[in-house]
Each structure stands twice: as C-alpha cells, then as structure tokens.
Amino acid sequence: MKNVLITGGAGFIGSHLNERLLAKGYTTILFDNLDAYYPKEIKLRNIAEARDNERCHFIQADLRNKAAIEAAFAEYKPDLVVHLAAQPGVRRSVQDPAPNIDVNITGTINLMEVMRAAGTKKMVFASSSSIYGNSEDVPFRETMKVDLPQSPYAATKKACELLGYTYHLHYDMDIWCLRFFTVYGPRQRPGMAISNFLTALQEDREIHIYGDGSMQRDFTFIDDIIDGVERAVERVNGYEVVNIGGSKTHSVSELCDMIDRVTGRKLQRTHKPVPPGDVRITYADTSKAKELMDFESKVSLEEGIRRQWEWLQQTMK
C-alpha cells in the first residue's frame, strides 16, 4: 500500500501527516479546498516544501463536489484514505450549524461512495473528543454511551462514525475512527486556545478565558497525534473507534501558568462567560490505542508548549 489520499491535507494535522508519510515512502494526494475559515496562504505555506517532492500531489477541490473526488480517484487510485477534512469549530457550529452538516456529513458520504465505487477499502477517519459531550465519567472510554452531543459539530462527528460502521457492515470497508483530543503544536490553526495565547503574548495583547479557568482539556501534541494516525494507517482492519490523546488533563488556568513559565512572559488574562457548546472536561483513556497499535503519547504539555513557542517566534520574524 503506497498511495494515500489525505483530505484536509493542507491543514494543521494534514500537513504534518503528509510529511510523515512522505518520509516513510508513501505517495500522497492532498485533497483540500483551502476553505476561508482561516487564510489559505497559511495552508499553502504548510505544504510548500512538501510539494517539491514528486510523490506529493495537491488537488484544490471540495468534498461536496463528488465529481472532483471521482476525478482524483481515477487519476491517482489511492489505496487508503485519511479523512481529516471537516468544517471545524464547536462554538461556530452552534451559531451556524448548516455548514457543519453540509461539509462534514455530505462530504463524508460523497467520499465513501466514491471509495466504494473505486474499490478503495480502507479509511482512517478523524473524529473528535467532543463526541463525549459533558460527561464527567473520566477518563473517557470508547465503550461509553455518547448520545448527548453538546454542539452540531460533535453531532456530525458522531454521525460520520455511525456511517462508517454501516459502510463497514454492508460494503466490507475497513474504517477506523480516531477520536482526537485537543491537538496543538506548530501550525495549529488560528482560533485554538494555545495558538491564540502564544500569539497574544508575542503581540502583547490580552487573552480571553471562558469561565473561571477551571475547565480541563487533554492537550495532545501534534507529533503524538501523527504517531497515532500513522499506526492506524499501517494497521486499519475491520471497524474500530479509538481515542488518541495525551491521557492527562490540565485546567485552562494551569495551561496559562505553564505558558508564563515556558515563555518567561505573563499572559494578560480576562474572563468571559462560557459559550454554548463548550464542555467542562476532556480526558482520554488510551488503553485501547495501546492494545490495538502500541500507541502512547510521549510529549508533555510543557515540552509541547516550548516547541510551539519556538516555532511561532521563528515564523513571526
């Protein structure tokens, strides 16, 4: 298996995965519409160096355009798909749910239908810890009941997991759904907490903390996420739902204190009400990932912040 199509291949996670797979000898097809959610120049910069590799191919197209997916499959004949593309943003989905449903569900159905017709049997799908909703039964396990999503975004991710199961059941497709937990690191998209906080430090701006700072997240460094995806690409068989996280949880206040310590600066903190859709805690039990593919996270939050801060300073010179 050598040809891997990566939807959302120019984004934060996709561009890192692309580099990892190219280094392992794969041929990659990056399928990305360069959505205006954040500047397309950032995404093009993410993949600029990789596109010099003759085994890396870039297609600017939208998953809602089924003909464009069919054309990509006809030309490159991928053996496996890593489906990262989605309309992101929990808070934004509460304000305007339609794009999430359109892109995340319709786009996924288009993709799986083209895979079915082309005989491409393997897919690794990027799901989300947001599926667990406001459960406080921690750490989160894949066997937990997850029928109370707190946002349209979370609901679309759950819908895609269920669709994946039916395509496995009826069409003999191998699909693994990886539930990512708060991914951060170099190239993190604008709008995410750590990216926002570090950029605010660099630009001497205040930050907004939602609530009293006690909300907790399982922050997972990008290299650990890519390790998990790579292991899934190598092993995907049958249907599985798997947590990929750091297996540790930190409050937002702890995160801010750590950023102050790592950077030697002081965040200017202000507080705002918690927006609809936000959950109190995320915390991954990754024992299934360990059992299935010998995965365990390696990068501590403090080390990950240091790496992202150093990267940001280099890019803003």
210 in catalytic set: no
Alpha-carbon distances, residue 110 vs 3, 130, 163, 244 (angstroms):
20, 23, 12, 26
Q: What are phi and psi of 176, to 5 degrees?
A: -110, 130
Secondary structure (3-state) at 162: helix
Neighbours of 73 (CB within 10 A): 21
Distance, CA of 305 to CA of 290 (rounded, Å): 24
Provide long-range contacts, Cβ within 8 A and 24+ apart, for 232-238: 232/124, 232/176, 232/178, 232/293, 233/4, 233/21, 233/80, 233/82, 233/124, 234/293, 235/292, 235/293, 236/80, 236/122, 236/123, 236/124, 236/174, 236/175, 236/176, 237/174, 238/168, 238/174
Query: Which DSSP symbol is given to 284?
Result: B
Distance, CA of 51 to CA of 56 (rounded, Å): 6
Out of 26, 132, 153, 184, pick the active-site residue: 153
Residue 95 makes CB contacts below 8 A (sequence gap 6+) with none
Distance, CA of 246 to CA of 300 (rounded, Å): 8
Amino acid 135 reads S
Q: What are phi and psi of 178, to 5 degrees?
A: -100, 120
* Residue among 79, 88, 77 at smallest CA distance from 43: 88
Rg of the chain over Cα atoms, rounded to whole angstroms, equals 19
Instruction: Cite the active site residues.
Output: 153
